[in-house]
Structures are given as C-alpha cells and as structure tokens.
Chain A
C-alpha cells in the first residue's frame, strides 16, 4: 500500500494508546488530502473569506442606525443598503467556492478510498474472503467511505469555519461592548455542553434503533425466502407475531430517540433566547446610560446567530468525527491486511508448461491448530487424470485450491514442471492452471463477455469454438440475442447446468495445461448432465487433470485414484486395484458408486 507519511509524525509516547489510535486514523484520513494540496489551501482561503465577510453586515446595520439615522443622512442609508448587497455578493462567491471545494475534496478522498479498497480486496487471498462476508466488505466500501467523506466535507471544513466564525465574532462583539460579549460567552459553554451530551445519548439510541432495524430485516427476509415453507406449515400467524415483536421495538426505540431530539432542539432555542433577554436588559440599560449605541445593540442581536450556529452544531460535528474515525479504522484495517499469498520479488513467469505436477510433503491448515492436509505426496505426470475421493471435509477441495495458490502451503512444496509455484508469477501460474469452481458464478454481462471473462481479447471464432466444445453453442444460438444475451442479475436466468457449461467454456478458452474441476453436477436433469459430461470430456483432452470425483465413470477412468480421509491420503491406485484391496475405496464404492454401476449395466443390456 502507498505510504501514509503524515501519521508517522505522531509521537507515540505523548498520547495514550486508544486516543493515539484515533489520532493516527484521523491523520491518515487527512493524508488523503495530499493529492489536492492546492484545492485544500483554496478551500481554507474561501472559508476564511466567507467567515470574514459574515461579520460585516451587522456592522453596516449598526452604522446605518448610529450614523445614518442620527445624522439624518438618506444618502448614507442608501450607501449602507448598497454595501449590504455588495458584501453578500462577495461573501456568496467565497461561500460557493468553499462549498464546492469541500465537495471536491471529499469526493476525491472517497474516490481514492474506494480505489484503494477495491485494490486491497482484489489482492487478498481466498483465506481472507473465507473469513469475511460480502455484506461486510460492501458496508465498508459504502457506509464507512461515506462517513469519512461526510467528515471531510462537513466535519473538517465546517468545523474550521465554525471555529473561525466564532473567534472573529467574539473579537468584534467584545470590542463593541465587552460586558455583553462576556454574557454571551458565558452561555455558550452551557449550550455546547448540552448539545454534546444529547448528541451522545442520541447516538446510542440510534445505534439501538439500527440494531432493531437489523432484526426487523432478518425476520422479513427469512419470511420472504421461506414463503413456501411458511404456507406449507400454515405458520402465517406465528410469523406475524414474530414480525410484530421487532416491528414494535423499532417503533418504540425510534419514538424514544425522536422524543429526546424533540425535547432538546427547542431547549437550545430557549437557552439562546434567555441569553438574548439578558443582553437586551443589559444592553438597554447601557443604551439608556449612553454606554452603548442603539446600533451596537442591534448588531449584537444580529451576531447572536453567528455565535450560536457553531455552538449548536458542535455536537453534530463531534458525532461525525467519531463516526469517521470508526469508519476510517475499519477501512484501514482492510487496506492494511497482509495477503497471505503474494508474489515473491524476482518471480519469473511460468513458460512452456508441460503439466507435470508434484505435491512434495505438503501440509496445510487454515489456522495453525487444525491442519487440513498432512504430508500429501502426489506425482501427476503430464496428461494424467487424478481423481480425488473422500468424505466432505477430508481435504479434497483444499488440494485443488493450493495448486493455483488460492492459499499457500504451510509445509512442503508444490511444483509444476519442477518449478516451485511460489517462485513464479501469480498471473502465469493461474494462466497455466484452470479451475472450474463448484459454484459457477456469472457476472452481469453478455454471454460472450462471460465466456471471454478470462481472455477479454478473444476473437468471436475462439469464443464460438469453446462454446461448441462446452455443448453450449446450440443453446446460445437459440436465444434471440445469441451471444449478446445479457445474463446475471438483470438478464435471463440460466439453469444450473447452463451456468456450469459457461464456466467450463470460459476455462477452456484459457487453454490451461493443468485443469481442476469438481465433478459435482448439482440440480441438473439427466439430459443436461449428459451435455455436461460431453463438455467435460472435451476439456480433459491432453491436460493434467485433478477431479473431485462423484461419478463412478470418472473414477473408473482415472490414472490415479487418491482416497482422502482427515487430510491424509489413505489409499491410492487404479479402480480395479483398489476394488480388490477391500479398503476405504471399496467401502465408498459399495455405498455410493455401485448404484451407478447397475445403471450402466441396465444400459449395456439395452
């Protein structure tokens, strides 16, 4: 990841750990502004300008009253009016730029954060994606990024603006009449404190509301997805009761949060107006005794809003601050996560692959305590068909996922044509090793794009050729839009078998020398399965192949059958040899495969 130079300035000894962590995060968020130094400076200049000009109008009004009215000067009054408009014009320009630049900066930060997050997520090994849920990653890239963005736009700039406006106003107010200035200053902490306290308790209330909303969502979603079961078991009334529990909690909690806000908002106004009353009494007294001009009093009344605006928003801004640091922390957690699998410096491309695969004393565990594979030895000469067999959890798919380096071995090594796969570039390795994953995920794109997913520059002829090989072409040709038919979320829904064949076609297009596939063909009818089998047969030609086998015919044809149990290879050999062994293979055969044998006998008799 790119270095974030700013946070190194924080002296670790000075701050306590948690707060330091906060500071670090905030500074790192700021460090994203370094791409836009000029815009940042301009934004602050615009902000200072806007604040400065904000002070002028009440002073003009003051002069209009004290001078224009006192000296009977109509022309002065007109001049004052013109001045007010002119000030508004200039201030408006500053305000526009402040607001625009604020957006510009915050959007830039969001853009870079999303870029970085995207990059970080794509770079991660499968282990990372096993641990994290899509929803959570998405929420970092959407909710958390938005919070950081809002903080840059509102928090950072508005906070400074509020502070600057506050400071300038206090100076001017005290200069007009210092006693009255002090009265105002005295009320501010009160309002500020109240705002702060309330925003904190409001926040915990909203967190509760969100939690309740989450439960509400789960109940609803579960009910909708399980609609058939609900009806079949006539559970409608109970479901409604369950729903209403969370429905009620959401309502009661939001009502409570609203109540607190409804109490507090007018309280602020009240405090402000109470202070105004004191000002008017004191100011009136001063005017009567000629210690203050009437215009001065009016200016004060105008300045009220300058002072209270910042103070009232402080709670809101502090809230933004905490949310942004929390969001920032979650984002940086992902950015900083080391990928277990990375390219060695000086890795060379794997070229001219023949396809001789060896596992040499390979052990692997997703975590240290629980090894999944122990001392695996495999020697697959070029073109060999290796069938992996064993109960779920025995380590079959783990073996296949080590080969394209979705994970790295914990011990031992895997070689292709004698090269340790950790010494070659990831891209060349994954080009050489094709894998048809069990869940054929399709992207929302055309069928053509999905087949050409691994080779975007493939020609139409190449694509059609692999589609034919995957027994998919006829189906595609029967669609009105042919290869340009849109699939995925907003397109047509392909059946499980069709999706599987698309997955086979896209692997075929890469022409890998080593092939990994899962023989499981779930949810397909017999004809589809037949088509898939034909497609697979095409795929297997002249490649070193590892198959997670479910079908007897695959097993029977394999050059090597590896029977796995608890992460070890417990038996290996060809079909006939193993049958005679009367070992674990025989057991599986009797339980699962014999049925299929009978079938093919029936077929043979026919």
Chain B
C-alpha cells in the first residue's frame, strides 16, 4: 500500500534535516518488496528468545505435527492394504474393520492438525506481541534525531508491515515448511517400503521437478518484483493526483495528467500480463511431471504386477502417493517467498531495535532538585551531522524569570537551541546548565518535568480536550485543569462546545481551529507549572479575536518563568527581557529592543528591512 503518512513533521527542527532525511534508516530505496536470502541463522537466533516463553506450546506443536504428518501420510497405505489384503481376498469383515480404523486415524489427524496449528499460532502471536512492544518502546526512547532522519511512513512500515510479515512466518509459514518437508520424507520412505525398485524409478521425477521450480522461481521473482514496482508507481501517481486535484483543476492540467496516468496504468497492465505468462506456465509443468511419474507407475508398476512382483493395491497406492508427492513441493515453493520476505522483515525490525539510544540517563544521574530557572549555555557546539555544524561556540545566560526572544532567519539555529535545552538532542561540545547542573548529569524525567514546551504546530492527541490539557500534569484535578483553561482564556471557548471539556479531539485536533489548539497547548504547558518555558510562537493565520486571546494568554504563561521564545510577533519580541539575534548558528548581538534598535545592527536590519522595504515595494507596485 502506497498510502503515505509523511509530510507532517513537527514544528521544530533545524538546518540539515532535509539533507539527512535522504540517507534514511538503512539506505534502501524501495521499502515494501525486498527479496533476500531465505534463511539467516543469525536473525533466527534473535527471533528465538521471543518464542522461548512459549516453549511448552512449541513442543506440543512439534509433537502433534509428527502425529498429523504420520496419519496423513498413512492414508493411501490403508487403501493399498484394503485392496490387497481384503478386497482381493473377499474379506468383507476385515475391510469394514480396517476402514473403521481408518476413520479413527483420520479423527486423530483432525485433532492433531488443529492442535498443532493452534499451539504454534498461539506462540507466534504472543511472540509478536512482545516484539511489537519492544519495537514500540524503543521508538519511545530513540532520540528525536532518529525521527528527523526517518519519515513517519517508513517507521510505520517497520513497526507494522514488517511485523505482520513475521507473523505469517511464525504462525503458519515455518510450520507448513517443516510439515511439508516431513510429508515428503514420509512419502519417500513409504514408497521405498512398498517397492523399492518402482520407488527409485518414480522418485527420479522429484529432482526434475525441483530443478524446474528453481529455474522458474528466478523468472517468477523478477516478474513479481516488476509488478510490485509498476503498481506502486500507479498508486503514487493516483495519490498525487488526488491530493493535488485542486491545483490541477485550477491550472487546467487535466488532459496532460490523464495522459500520464494512462501511461503508467498501462505499464502496470503490461507488467502484470508478462508476470501472468510466467505464473500460468508452472501448474501445467508440474502437472506434466506428475503425469510422467504416473505413466511410469502404470507402465513399470503394471509390468511388475504382471510378473507378480507387485500387488495391485500397492500399484494403486503408488499412483495415489505420486499425486501427493507433489503437493508439499508446491507448498514449500509458496512458502519460500514468505521466508525470503520474513528474513528481510526481521533484518529491518532488528535494525530498528539496534538503533542506538543516544540521549539517555547517565549511570548515576541524579534527580534535578526544584529549580530557580537559571539557564546557561557554555561554549555549546552542535551538529545534526558531523559535516554540518549548526551551532558554534554559543554562550548565553538567562536569569530566572527572564524572557529570551530568539530571532534570526530560518536555519539560524533558533529551534536547535530549544531542542538542546529540552534534551531532544545532546550537545556535541560545551555544556548546558540549569541552576548550575549540567543537564546531562540529571535524569531526563526530572529535567523535562520542570520544563514546559509549546510547539509551533500544537500537537493534540486523540481523546478529550481535558485529556489533552492534563497531559501537562497527570495528577492535576479537574478544578486545576479548568483553572489553567480559564487563565489562558480557553474556558469560555470550551464552554461553548456542546460537549464542553469532554469534546473529543479527532486525530491531530482537526476539529479545532488552529487558535483553539494553540490555547489548549498553552493551558497544557501552564498546568505543568514549569520553571522553564520553551515556546515556538505560531505564525499561522489566526483571526483577530483569537489572536488577542493568545497574546493575553502568552502574558500569563511567561509571567515569573524563565522562557525561551522563538518569536514571530513584534509584541513578543519587544516585551522580551533579552533579544538574541542569531545568524548561521552564532549569536550576532543581544540586548533589549531599544538597545538593539539603537545599535543599528543585524536586528535593526531584520526589523526594518523585512517589514519596511516590503511595504515600500508593495506601494510602488500598487501605484504602478
């Protein structure tokens, strides 16, 4: 499925992100269909611990499999005996008894097959439960840098598609491969026991068939890969045309796009047709080899019967066995691709689990005691990738209660400063202290517990509004939640909703306006009672009434806290205690609004050039 989930990265992030993303998790170009070697001992050994807690179920499954295979292989033998020992001797009584035994045996087969499949599936499903849990937990502790490098859609496919491929392997695939092989072995021995001469002649067909399948597989795999590629191009084209339909219509580009879609659609058709030529040939081929084996049984076996070296029933048994000899091979062929895909899937899942957790509590990290909120960046250097430094030797001090406004162009390093303080990343050089504690020496929970963050695009989880506010502090009472909402001016907006605080927020909060979402994230941060507040101011288009609310709420939020604000609004910048102007990862100047205006430096340029010249240009154009 080519449905993408990308394209909605969070609001923060710094320079160099786009460049790193292309490198990806493992450098592979296509994600869905990879074909590797069918078996990798090392990966299997890693998978085994997940099955270990279910040793009992696996053992039961193995034992029952032996029973099931034996009873299944014995079926034609009973018919042989029925013909040679009872029908040929007109022993009706014995025939009935034999058949009763046969039915009883089939009954055993039924339950053995059932029990074997169920216990193996049981073990497999719960093993996958644990594996999913491990993957998910790992995703919780991986550094944010990992999410910069890898698109959401790609990670999703690891955690979902790859695991469900493994499910096929663990719950049915592995079992049926073993069962099929056992069946083949069982049949071969039975044939040898019935008549070794005829068996040897007949069994020549086995390697022949095997050779045919191996050669065929090679072609089939190639054409299969081609069809997968073709359909994913069709889907990508379709997806783009659906998402961009408004642009397409407004630029009247329908005809050109229809032509292009028609082309990829036809290429897919052709690829599938070629593939079907390959796939249509295999059944007739297998049937032909089967027929040749039957012909050998009739001609050679018949001669043996005539020379009284073989009984008729045994001949019939041979004919019936030959038919069944080919089934397991077909199944193994089918499972072969499952096995291949599972190997690749396992490889990718374990690669994910092996991603190092860079940001974590140091051994002996202490709880950060309640803080005043003095933040100091001391000679901080940072790079997302070693080649591209983002911050060079940054020094910055925020006294308790100060509001620091960060200004500068996109990529100047504003977001990076906030991310480092939150320890989404660790500094490459220098250190950051809070009340004198290096933030790497304290536990993540105690650090983040005293900080509040408001992202540019407020992220809401599905659940109720009250759930989303309470995210700030889980122990908060309803009254405290309401109080926080009142302070930021959200309360009366919520009261107007039919369901009030219990209004369900749909995925990512699409049923609330941007302004409302922003206010929710303010209330959330406020409820946390953080000593340090990190805020990436929203630039989105907000109507004037909400805007006024936001400004008031912002004032409440900043009062009495140390705050780092990536400022987009003039009012915010002007009211800041300290304005820090950044350029290419270095501080160019800092001071209050008045000081910096008076200095006529970069801030002044940014300020007047950005707004005033644009206005002038507009005026010129308007009068032209």
Hey, which chain B residues are within 8 Å of A527, CB to CB? 409, 606, 609-610
Hey, which chain A residues are within 8 Å of B100, CB to CB? 277
Q: Does B511 contact A (CB under 8 A)?
A: no
Q: Does A201 contact B (CB under 8 A)?
A: no
- Whether A104 touches B92, Cβ cut-off 8 Å, given contacts A80-B299, A217-B156, A528-B410, is no
- Of the 9-residue stretches B109-117, B373-381, B397-405, B429-437, which lies at the interface with chain A? B109-117
Hey, which chain B residues are within 8 Å of A301, CB to CB? 79, 316, 320
Please measure, in the bound complex, the distance between the C-alpha atom of A269 and the C-alpha atom of B516, giving whole angstroms. Answer: 62
Q: Does A221 contact B (CB under 8 A)?
A: yes
- Of the 9-residue stretches B261-269, B339-347, B485-493, which lies at the interface with chain A? B261-269
B129 touches A270 (CB 8 A): no
- Whether A493 touches B21, Cβ cut-off 8 Å, given contacts A134-B242, A232-B422, A288-B90, is yes
B609 touches A595 (CB 8 A): no
B133 touches A247 (CB 8 A): yes
B277-303 near A? 1/0 per residue, CB < 8 Å? 101110111011011101110110011
**Shortest Cβ gap from A259 to chain B (Å):** 5
Q: Does A74 contact B (CB under 8 A)?
A: yes
Hey, which chain B residues are within 8 Å of A124, CB to CB? 245
**Shortest Cβ gap from A369 to chain B (Å):** 18
Please measure, in the bound complex, the distance between the C-alpha atom of A95 and the C-alpha atom of B281, giving whole angstroms. Answer: 9
Which of A85, A88, A520: most chain B Cβ within 10 A?
Answer: A88
| Set B95, B117, B290: member contacting A284, Cβ < 8 A | B95
- Whether A138 touches B621, Cβ cut-off 8 Å, given contacts A80-B298, A266-B114, A527-B610, is no
A437 touches B247 (CB 8 A): yes
Hey, which chain A residues are within 8 Å of B540, CB to CB? 522-523
Q: Does B444 contact A (CB under 8 A)?
A: yes
- Whether A262 touches B610, Cβ cut-off 8 Å, given contacts A287-B87, A599-B570, is no
**Shortest Cβ gap from B260 to chain A (Å):** 10
Closest-by-CB residue of A relative to B227 is: A107
- Of the 9-residue stretches A15-23, A370-378, A426-434, A476-484, which lies at the interface with chain B? A426-434
Please measure, in the bound complex, the distance between the C-alpha atom of A267 and the C-alpha atom of B106, giving whole angstroms. Answer: 9
Q: Does A332 contact B (CB under 8 A)?
A: no
Hey, which chain B residues are within 8 Å of A557, CB to CB? 618-619, 622
CB contacts under 8 Å to B, within A539-568, are: 540-541, 550, 553-554, 557
- Which bracket fits the contact residues of B? 35 or more
- Whether A506 touches B160, Cβ cut-off 8 Å, given contacts A121-B242, A244-B133, is no
Q: Does A69 contact B (CB under 8 A)?
A: yes
| Set B159, B248, B280: member contacting A103, Cβ < 8 A | B280
Hey, which chain A residues are within 8 Å of B600, CB to CB? 606
**Shortest Cβ gap from A392 to chain B (Å):** 5
Hey, which chain B residues are within 8 Å of A251, CB to CB? 125-126, 128-129
A-B contact pairs, 11 of them (CB 8 A): A103-B280, A118-B265, A126-B249, A138-B239, A233-B471, A240-B137, A280-B102, A441-B247, A525-B409, A557-B619, A603-B613
B622 touches A406 (CB 8 A): no
B269 touches A288 (CB 8 A): no
A445-472 near B? 1/0 per residue, CB < 8 Å? 0000000011010000000000000000
A454 touches B597 (CB 8 A): no
Kindly list 6 other residue pairs between chains A and B, CB separation below 8 angstroms, not including A65-B315, A80-B302, A603-B612. Answer: A103-B272, A103-B273, A121-B241, A248-B129, A453-B253, A454-B251
A135 touches B136 (CB 8 A): no
CB < 8 Å A-B pair total: 466
Please measure, in the bound complex, the distance between the C-alpha atom of A24 and the C-alpha atom of B617, giving whole angstroms. Answer: 63
- Whether A443 touches B244, Cβ cut-off 8 Å, given contacts A243-B136, A244-B133, A454-B253, is yes
Hey, which chain A residues are within 8 Å of B132, CB to CB? 243, 247
A236 touches B129 (CB 8 A): no
A406 touches B113 (CB 8 A): no
Please measure, in the bound complex, the distance between the C-alpha atom of A92 and the C-alpha atom of B249, giving whole angstroms. Answer: 51
**Shortest Cβ gap from B198 to chain A (Å):** 13
B258 touches A406 (CB 8 A): no
**Shortest Cβ gap from B44 to chain A (Å):** 21
A226 touches B461 (CB 8 A): yes
Hey, which chain A residues are within 8 Å of B87, CB to CB? 284, 287-288, 294, 297
- Whether A258 touches B448, Cβ cut-off 8 Å, given contacts A96-B281, A281-B99, A298-B319, is no
**Shortest Cβ gap from A146 to chain B (Å):** 9
Q: Does A159 contact B (CB under 8 A)?
A: no
Q: Does A35 contact B (CB under 8 A)?
A: no
B107 touches A270 (CB 8 A): yes
Please measure, in the bound complex, the distance between the C-alpha atom of A427 and the C-alpha atom of B254, giving whole angstroms. Answer: 10
B249 touches A273 (CB 8 A): no
B256 touches A456 (CB 8 A): yes
Hey, which chain A residues are within 8 Å of B617, CB to CB? 530, 533-534, 537
Q: Does A190 contact B (CB under 8 A)?
A: no
Q: Does B155 contact A (CB under 8 A)?
A: yes
CB contacts under 8 Å to B, within A207-260, are: 213, 216-218, 220-236, 238-240, 243-244, 247-248, 251-252, 254-255, 258-259
**Shortest Cβ gap from A421 to chain B (Å):** 14
CB contacts under 8 Å to A, within B537-576, are: 539-541, 543-545, 547-548, 570-571
- Whether A591 touches B612, Cβ cut-off 8 Å, given contacts A114-B265, A122-B258, A138-B3, is no
Please measure, in the bound complex, the distance between the C-alpha atom of A287 and the C-alpha atom of B471, giving whole angstroms. Answer: 81
A121 touches B245 (CB 8 A): yes
B544 touches A591 (CB 8 A): yes
Hey, which chain B residues are within 8 Å of A220, CB to CB? 136, 156, 159-160
Hey, which chain B residues are within 8 Å of A581, CB to CB? none
Q: Does B171 contact A (CB under 8 A)?
A: yes
A374-413 near B? 1/0 per residue, CB < 8 Å? 0000000000010000011000000000001010000000
Closest-by-CB residue of A relative to B451 is: A232
Hey, which chain A residues are within 8 Å of B247, CB to CB? 437, 441, 443, 453
B47-78 near A? 1/0 per residue, CB < 8 Å? 00000000000000000000010000001000
| Set B240, B256, B276, B622: member contacting A104, Cβ < 8 A | B276
CB contacts under 8 Å to B, within A283-303, are: 284-285, 287-288, 294, 297-298, 301-302
B118 touches A537 (CB 8 A): no
Closest-by-CB residue of A relative to B117 is: A262
Q: Does B475 contact A (CB under 8 A)?
A: no
Q: Does A274 contact B (CB under 8 A)?
A: yes
Please measure, in the bound complex, the distance between the C-alpha atom of A135 and the C-alpha atom of B456, giving whole angstroms. Answer: 26
B598-619 near A? 1/0 per residue, CB < 8 Å? 0010001011111111110111
Hey, which chain A residues are within 8 Å of B613, CB to CB? 530, 603
- Of the 9-residue stretches B6-14, B363-371, B494-502, B584-592, which lies at the interface with chain A? B6-14
Please measure, in the bound complex, the distance between the C-alpha atom of A544 and the C-alpha atom of B204, giving whole angstroms. Answer: 85
Hey, which chain B residues are within 8 Å of A489, CB to CB? 4, 6, 236
B287-329 near A? 1/0 per residue, CB < 8 Å? 1101110111011001101100000100110011001000000
- Whether A266 touches B109, Cβ cut-off 8 Å, given contacts A77-B299, A228-B455, is yes
Please measure, in the bound complex, the distance between the C-alpha atom of A489 and the C-alpha atom of B153, giving whole angstroms. Answer: 12
A223 touches B109 (CB 8 A): no
Q: Does B453 contact A (CB under 8 A)?
A: yes
A490-528 near B? 1/0 per residue, CB < 8 Å? 001101010000000011001000000000101111111
Hey, which chain B residues are within 8 Å of A454, CB to CB? 251-253
CB contacts under 8 Å to A, within B220-251, are: 234-236, 238-251
- Of the 9-residue stretches B138-146, B187-195, B206-214, which lies at the interface with chain A? B138-146
Please measure, in the bound complex, the distance between the C-alpha atom of A522 and the C-alpha atom of B234, giving whole angstroms. Answer: 33
Closest-by-CB residue of B relative to A288 is: B90
Hey, which chain A residues are within 8 Å of B428, CB to CB? none
A69 touches B306 (CB 8 A): yes
A391 touches B545 (CB 8 A): yes
- Whether A84 touches B298, Cβ cut-off 8 Å, given contacts A122-B248, A599-B611, is yes
Please measure, in the bound complex, the distance between the C-alpha atom of A392 and the C-alpha atom of B147, giving whole angstroms. Answer: 34
Hey, which chain A residues are within 8 Å of B280, CB to CB? 95-97, 99-100, 103
Please measure, in the bound complex, the distance between the C-alpha atom of A191 and the C-alpha atom of B498, giving whole angstroms. Answer: 55
Q: Does B257 contact A (CB under 8 A)?
A: yes
B92 touches A92 (CB 8 A): no
Q: Does B424 contact A (CB under 8 A)?
A: yes
| Set B2, B12, B111, B238: member contacting A228, Cβ < 8 A | B12
